[in-house]
């Protein structure tokens, strides 16, 4: 029972497979081509065989008709019953039949095989209707040497015997033929040959289709074996056809999926790590405050620490939600015509209090009017993140400067926003990773939170980079150790 079930499943799968359907289409098209070609061969051979038979009959008739066109016949008073028979030079061969028939259909003279009256009457009637030279094919009974009657195919020519304009009778000459048998054999050979060709084509088509879709099977097996925990497998097919291109696309998709899953795992690990620190500090402060009776000052200090860590977690959760909306496409930009300098000035005013608490000088440079099409809230958030990052990493007594300008590059006009500081700078090996989520340069650059500046979540620059990209721009960074860092945002300038 299990064997039949497996066989049935295999048959169902095979009959619905692409290779089987491709093979059927191939065989179907080949069958049409072979049928047309076979019909052409059969028609051509039939016509040629009939033409050869007619030519042979006409050659036999030519010498016999010579007598009826001679003066001896035309000037004589002989009837068809007195015509001399064929001599030794006659074209008649073994099995041929020659008969002279009067107008009433009675055989006057007969040489060779004897013809029955039914065949003669039919030939006379046909010749009377159409006196031109026509070849007729009939099957007539012939007496064999053993006395048996055998049906034999004959070709006949019946021509009128004339003296002047007077019809005296008909000259009938018949010759055995195997034209029908030859055509039947040709038909059988073509049918059998076509069937053999189609069977060979079916087998060869299955083999070719199997080789053609072998990369698809490889892709299917790889996709079946690949799991979320193992995306490192690749097909690495070689070649230049479409299926190899598909396999290359599949490998590229796997690489992107692996990178996405790696980023997701790293993102979850980093988020867990970032949240664990404030939660640990909060729990320690609570345990310490509740372990014994404390003074009001100690309770107040514990609450202040808890409040700072709670604010840090709130900011981190908000940043995570912002990034989640951005990644899922739910962050919809409300674009409007804005002046980049006005937005930058508004962001500077918002961050002035933070700069004052951090003892950082926040100033503005040149702010020419620059028309851009952007979302005001997202633009302010981007500039604020860049200013906050500069305040945190520049250090007490340093200066953060915000300026705007324009430039022409790649045949386009760009509005530029620069946020510069004269802090310690960023080592070159960290520059390519600054916009990665939760990435931080060494903690020595981070200003202590005792000054009032909130500690970073490592997400501000990632959000700023996304906002710039969503507006058709980009963020570049340039830093020199001991001299400071400059973040430059380029946005399309509206004309």
- Which pLDDT belongs to residue 84? 65
Give the pLDDT confidence of 373-392 residue by residue, as tens digits.
Answer: 999 988 998 999 999 889 98
Q: Closest by alpha carbon to 176, among 237, 235, 284, 97? A: 97
- Which pLDDT belongs to residue 440? 67
- Which pLDDT belongs to residue 421? 92
Q: Enumerate the H helices of 152-241 as residue ranges.
A: 179-212, 214-225
**Torsion angles phi and psi, residue 419, rounded to 5:** -120, 110
Please say whether the beta carbons of 194 and 35 come within 8 A.
yes
Give the pLDDT confidence of 156-166 residue by residue, as tens digits.
Answer: 888 787 777 77
- The H helix count followed by the E strand count for the chain is 11, 12
- Which pLDDT belongs to residue 116? 74
- Which pLDDT belongs to residue 447? 39
- Would you list the DSSP string of 458-475? S-HHHHHHHHHHHTT-EE
- Which pLDDT belongs to residue 77? 65
- Which pLDDT belongs to residue 446? 44
Strand ranges for 376-411 from DSSP E: 399-409
pTM higher than 0.75: no
Query: Quick one: 481 exposed, middle or buried, by C-beta within 10 A (0-12, 13-18, 19+)?
Result: exposed
Q: How far is CA 271 from CA 228, 383, 447, in A?
A: 20, 24, 21
Average pLDDT for runs of 10 along the chain of length 495: 58 71 88 93 87 77 68 66 59 75 80 76 74 67 60 79 79 80 88 92 86 76 70 74 77 81 73 76 85 85 86 79 72 88 93 90 92 92 91 87 89 91 89 78 45 57 89 92 92 87
CA 384 – CA 405 distance, rounded (Å): 18
- Which pLDDT belongs to residue 8? 59
Token code pair at residue 332: 């919809």
Token code pair at residue 400: 């953060």
User: Which of 3.10.150.10, 3.30.565.10, 3.40.50.150, 3.40.50.2300 would CATH assign to domain 332-492?
Assistant: 3.30.565.10
Q: Integer distance in angstroms from the first to the last C-alpha of the chain?
A: 79
Q: Closest by alpha carbon to 9, among 1, 220, 219? A: 1
Assigned CATH class of 1-75+92-212: alpha beta
Please say whether the beta carbons of 101 and 107 come within 8 A.
yes
Please say whether the beta carbons of 233 and 247 come within 8 A.
no
- Which pLDDT belongs to residue 81? 64
Q: Give the start-to-end residue ranges of the domains of the chain.
A: 1-75+92-212, 219-284, 332-492
- Which pLDDT belongs to residue 12? 61
């Amino acid at each position: 029972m299990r064997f039949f079930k497996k066989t049935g499943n295999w048959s169902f799968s095979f009959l619905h497979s692409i290779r089987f359907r491709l093979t059927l289409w191939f065989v179907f098209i080949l069958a049409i081509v072979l049928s047309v070609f076979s019909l052409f061969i059969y028609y051509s051979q039939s016509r040629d065989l009939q033409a050869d038979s007619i030519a042979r009959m006409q050659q036999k008739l030519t010498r016999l008709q010579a007598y009826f066109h001679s003066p001896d016949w035309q000037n004589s008073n002989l009837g068809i019953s007195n015509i001399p028979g064929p001599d030794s030079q006659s074209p008649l061969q073994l099995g041929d039949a020659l008969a002279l028939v009067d107008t009433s259909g009675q055989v006057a003279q007969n040489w060779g095989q004897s013809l029955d009256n039914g065949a003669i009457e039919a030939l006379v009637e046909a010749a009377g209707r159409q006196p031109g030279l026509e070849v007729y094919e009939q099957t007539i009974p012939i007496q064999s040497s053993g006395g048996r009657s055998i049906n034999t195919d004959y070709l006949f020519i019946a021509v009128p015997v004339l003296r002047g304009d007077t019809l005296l009778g008909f000259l009938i000459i018949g010759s055995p033929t195997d034209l029908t048998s030859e055509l039947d054999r040709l038909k059988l050979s073509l049918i059998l040959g076509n069937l053999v060709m189609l069977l060979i084509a079916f087998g060869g088509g299955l083999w070719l289709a199997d080789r053609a879709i072998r990369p698809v099977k490889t892709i299917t097996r790889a996709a079946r074996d690949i799991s979320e925990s193992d995306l490192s497998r690749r097909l690495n097919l070689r070649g230049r056809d479409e299926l190899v291109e598909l396999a290359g696309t599949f490998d590229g998709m796997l690489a992107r999926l692996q990178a996405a899953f790696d980023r997701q795992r790293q993102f979850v690990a980093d988020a867990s790590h970032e949240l664990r620190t404030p939660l640990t500090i909060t729990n320690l402060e609570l345990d310490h405050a509740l372990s014994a009776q404390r003074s009001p000052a100690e309770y107040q200090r514990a609450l202040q620490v808890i409040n700072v860590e709670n604010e840090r977690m709130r900011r981190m959760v908000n940043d995570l939600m912002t990034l989640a909306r951005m990644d899922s496409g739910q962050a919809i930009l409300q674009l409007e015509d804005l002046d980049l300098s006005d937005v930058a000035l508004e962001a500077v005013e918002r961050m002035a209090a933070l700069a004052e608490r951090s003892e950082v000088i926040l100033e503005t440079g040149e702010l020419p009017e620059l028309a851009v099409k952007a979302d005001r809230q997202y633009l302010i958030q981007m500039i604020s993140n860049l200013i906050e990052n500069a305040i945190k990493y520049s250090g007490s007594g340093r200066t953060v400067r915000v300026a705007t300008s324009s430039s022409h590059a790649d045949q386009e006009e760009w509005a530029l926003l620069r946020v510069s500081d004269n802090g310690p700078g960023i080592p070159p090996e960290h520059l390519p990773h600054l916009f990665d989520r939760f990435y931080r340069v060494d903690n020595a650059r981070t200003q202590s939170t005792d000054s009032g500046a909130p500690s970073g979540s490592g997400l501000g620059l990632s959000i700023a980079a996304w906002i710039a990209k969503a507006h058709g721009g980009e963020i570049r960074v340039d830093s020199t150790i001991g001299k400071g860092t400059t973040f430059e945002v380029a946005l399309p300038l509206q004309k």
